[in-house]
């Protein structure tokens, strides 16, 4: 196992941005403390070829102008909140709208746009980076002074381990996740629509045309959302025409709060596979529908369906939906969630 660190760039205020590279098992993971972002993940193929399987940018400038949220940690509240506001204990909290009339990933200056404190360390069978951020009362419109502590690490058994923790001095909704885009063929190597996918999800969160939940959880069986058995992400145009792909939250089967299987993805040419586990209620399955000629690493150009995301999280618009699993964090009730991304070659 190995940890290396270098300067990734310098912000306009003179602060230095760090880039960490963690090596363990067969993988090499790089992360930066700007946006607590995953910048690359080098993984071998069946043929013994090492590819970077994460979409990303070659330098800091890309992450400073990162409209697709590539690789970053999003919060305080990931995903959409209807009408860019929510009501809590009789008080209304207006947020910044950045997705039509709605708030997406907490508005234009969420956790993904901030410089986190960071340190690397080795523990047990892995190497990790610990990121810490203090979000003041009123930040992005949310109540309470919140402290977020996140660790991302790489184990000898080829797992990326994600631990999310937060505490606050006032009750507030919290929903933190990472927005990594994967392509198991390798970044810049075409579409992900012919990857094989399986979701351990018997229902999905129905949404309107703006991505806001209707309040219904709909069974997936016999629909375009049925990934209970492994199949190609999309083989026909029929689903792509109305939706342009997937950007939907699926309800993960099993007991919320316990680490359990969430998703599996396999790419036959490389032999690379990914299995995801989560403690959270849902996973946002996104197929990069809004990527439009995004300039990525080493001249790669990311277009629609160049990568997929599996964002473990609470359901969208949970602060406005009493029937959804609670995302409320309060003094004495901290936020503690975990996700594991396990890689293999078959």
Asked if 311 is an active-site residue, the reply is: yes
Asked if 248 is an active-site residue, the reply is: no
d(CA 317, CA 212): 7
> Which of 105, 159, 179, 195 does the annotation list as catalytic?
179
CA 190 to chain centre: 21
Q: What are phi and psi of 215, to 5 degrees?
A: 105, -10
How distant, in Å, are the alpha carbons of 32, 57, 270 from that of 5?
10, 18, 30
> Which of 187, 264, 267, 311 does the annotation list as catalytic?
311
Residues serving a catalytic function are 179, 311
């Amino acid at each position: 196992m190995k940890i290396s660190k270098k300067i990734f760039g310098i912000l306009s205020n003179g602060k230095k941005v760090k880039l960490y590279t963690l090596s363990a098992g067969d993988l090499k993971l790089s992360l930066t403390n700007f946006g607590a972002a995953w910048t690359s993940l080098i993984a071998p193929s069946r043929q013994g070829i090492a590819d970077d399987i994460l979409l990303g940018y070659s330098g800091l400038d890309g992450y400073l102008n990162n409209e697709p949220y590539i690789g970053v940690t999003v919060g305080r509240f990931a995903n959409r909140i209807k009408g860019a506001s929510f009501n809590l204990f009789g008080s209304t909290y207006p947020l910044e709208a950045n997705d039509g009339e709605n708030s997406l990933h907490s508005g234009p200056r969420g956790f993904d746009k901030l410089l986190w404190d960071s340190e690397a360390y080795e523990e047990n069978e892995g190497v990790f980076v610990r990121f810490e951020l203090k979000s003041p009362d009123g930040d992005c419109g949310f109540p309470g002074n919140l402290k977020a502590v996140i660790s991302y690490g790489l184990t000898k058994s080829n797992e990326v381990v994600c631990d999310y923790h937060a505490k606050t001095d006032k009750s507030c909704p919290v929903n933190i996740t990472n927005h990594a885009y994967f392509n198991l063929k390798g970044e810049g190597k075409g579409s992900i629509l012919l990857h094989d996918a399986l979701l351990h999800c018997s229902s999905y969160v129905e949404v309107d045309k703006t991505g806001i939940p209707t309040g219904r959880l709909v069974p997936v069986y016999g629909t375009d959302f049925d990934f209970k058995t492994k199949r190609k992400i999309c083989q026909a145009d029929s689903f792509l025409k109305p939706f342009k792909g997937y950007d939907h939250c699926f309800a993960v089967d099993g007991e919320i709060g316990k680490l359990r299987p969430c998703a599996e993805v396999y790419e036959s040419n490389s032999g690379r596979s990914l299995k995801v586990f989560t403690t959270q209620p849902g996973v946002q399955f996104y197929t990069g529908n809004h990527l439009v000629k995004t300039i990525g690493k080493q001249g790669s150009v990311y277009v629609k369906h160049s990568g997929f995301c599996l964002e473990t999280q609470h359901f969208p618009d949970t602060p406005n939906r009493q029937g959804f699993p609670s995302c409320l964090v309060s003094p004495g009730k901290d936020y503690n969630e975990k996700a594991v991304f396990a890689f293999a070659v078959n």
